[in-house]
């Protein structure tokens, strides 16, 4: 069977090798290897008297390693001092063998550094563009955050929606979605569902002035923002699902039965981001045609 995704290499496209396990949120081997290669290629191990670019790279990666050291229990701060090969080894070991949250934490440290070299940033963003992990970089408002997604195309849509929501000034909706993404990353799927739906409720209330979602949806329909009643019903049913899922005071058995999976939480998150982004564009008069593009 032919896979038409041009980002895949020949052997993957035509079935000679199994496709990368990009949906593994623990991060597949291809992603880890690619990030390790970036560190190996851009982190020099020795200062050079006549090479300022070399020395800037050492200084940059050393700062990242020091910040990462602070995350590790029982590792004394600054224990490596000026031993740059050991700092490089520390980062590469974490990327190759550490839990997924350490890898993504290092990436956020890199992206949030004020002195982040453009070449390093571009290489890292290209990893996400290639779709090697079910995550995307959200730059809609500082600091940069890694959010969960299911496909590269969904990544572009979700990040675009977050940008539109931030641009139109719907900060409560934006905060709720970023919080929902954090809950998914932490495995707190009920909380992710709740915050995702709260984002839609928040921006609907902002636009209409209504205090609850039901009247807000009616007002949106009257304003022509939901031209078909089925759209309003879809959002209402999503809200009903969220209410049933996150309701407190349930028995242990019922709570377990309604506990959402990661896939369900991700579906609600991406859907709510799309709806909130749509309302944000309507609110601010924005029109946007977004294409997935290769990072610079």
Residues 203 and 279: beta-carbon distance below 8 Å: yes
Residues 121 and 110: beta-carbon distance below 8 Å: yes
- Nearest Cα neighbor of 266 from 130, 160, 135 is 135
Tokens 């045609």: give the residue: 289
Give me the percent of the chain exceeding a pLDDT of 70.
Answer: 82
pTM for the whole structure = 0.78
The structural architecture, per CATH, of the domain 145-284 is: Up-down Bundle (1.20)
Tell me the two tokens of residue 29: 């081997």
Rounded mean pLDDT, 42-48: 90
Question: Per-residue pLDDT tens for 75-101?
Answer: 655 556 678 999 999 999 999 999 999
Domain positions in the chain: 15-133, 145-284
pLDDT at 120 over 70: yes
Long-range contacts of 86-93 (CB under 8 A, 24+ apart): 87/61, 87/62, 88/39, 88/40, 88/43, 88/45, 88/61, 90/65, 91/39, 91/43, 91/61, 91/64, 91/65, 92/36, 92/39, 92/40
Q: How far is CA 150 from the centre of its chain?
A: 10
Give me the percent of the chain exceeding a pLDDT of 90.
Answer: 43
Residues 91 and 39: beta-carbon distance below 8 Å: yes
Tell me the two tokens of residue 126: 């290209």
> What confidence score (pLDDT) does residue 15 get?
74
Residues 153 and 47: beta-carbon distance below 8 Å: no
Question: Per-residue pLDDT tens for 227-240?
Answer: 778 888 888 888 88
Per-residue b or e along 84-120, where b marks 16 or more CB atoms closer than 10 Å to that residue's CB: beebbbbbbebbeebebebbbbbbebbbebeebbeeb
Question: Computed from CA positions of residues 258, 264, 269, 271, in that sequence, does the dihedral angle turn out positive or negative?
Answer: negative
**Which band of pLDDT confidence, cut at 50, 70 and 90, is reported for residue 251?**
very low
- Nearest Cα neighbor of 131 from 103, 107, 152 is 152
Question: Per-residue pLDDT tens for 172-221?
Answer: 999 999 999 999 999 999 999 999 999 999 999 998 999 888 888 888 88
**Which band of pLDDT confidence, cut at 50, 70 and 90, is reported for residue 259?**
confident
- Nearest Cα neighbor of 200 from 155, 234, 246 is 234
C-alpha to C-alpha distances, 22 to 27, 125, 133, 147, 154, nearest whole angstrom: 7, 16, 5, 15, 14
């Amino acid at each position: 069977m032919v896979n038409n995704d041009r980002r895949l290499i020949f052997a993957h496209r035509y079935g000679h090798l199994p496709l990368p396990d990009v949906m593994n949120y623990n991060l597949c081997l291809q992603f880890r290897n690619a990030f390790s290669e970036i560190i190996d290629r851009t982190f020099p191990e020795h200062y050079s008297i006549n090479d300022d670019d070399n020395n800037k790279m050492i200084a940059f990666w050393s700062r990242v390693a020091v910040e990462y050291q602070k995350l590790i229990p029982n590792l004394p701060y600054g224990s490596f001092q000026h031993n740059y090969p050991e700092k490089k080894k520390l980062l590469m070991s974490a990327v190759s063998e550490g839990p997924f949250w350490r890898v993504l934490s290092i990436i956020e440290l890199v992206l949030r550094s004020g002195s982040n070299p453009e070449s390093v940033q571009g290489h890292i963003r290209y990893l996400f563009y290639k779709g090697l992990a079910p995550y995307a970089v959200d730059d809609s408002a500082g600091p940069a955050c890694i959010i969960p997604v299911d496909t590269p195309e969904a990544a572009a849509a979700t990040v675009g929606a977050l940008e539109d929501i931030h641009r139109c000034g719907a900060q409560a909706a934006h905060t709720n979605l970023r919080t929902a993404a954090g809950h998914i990353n932490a495995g707190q799927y009920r909380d992710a569902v709740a915050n995702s739906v709260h984002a839609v409720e928040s921006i609907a209330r902002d636009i209409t002035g209504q205090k609850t979602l039901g009247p807000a949806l009616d007002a949106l329909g009257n304003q022509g923002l939901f031209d078909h009643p089925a759209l309003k019903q879809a959002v209402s049913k999503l809200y009903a699902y969220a209410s049933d899922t996150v309701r407190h005071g349930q028995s242990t058995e019922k709570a377990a039965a309604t506990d959402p999976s990661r896939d369900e939480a991700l579906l609600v998150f991406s859907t709510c981001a799309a709806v909130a982004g749509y309302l944000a564009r309507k609110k601010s008069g924005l029109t946007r045609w977004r294409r997935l593009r290769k990072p610079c």
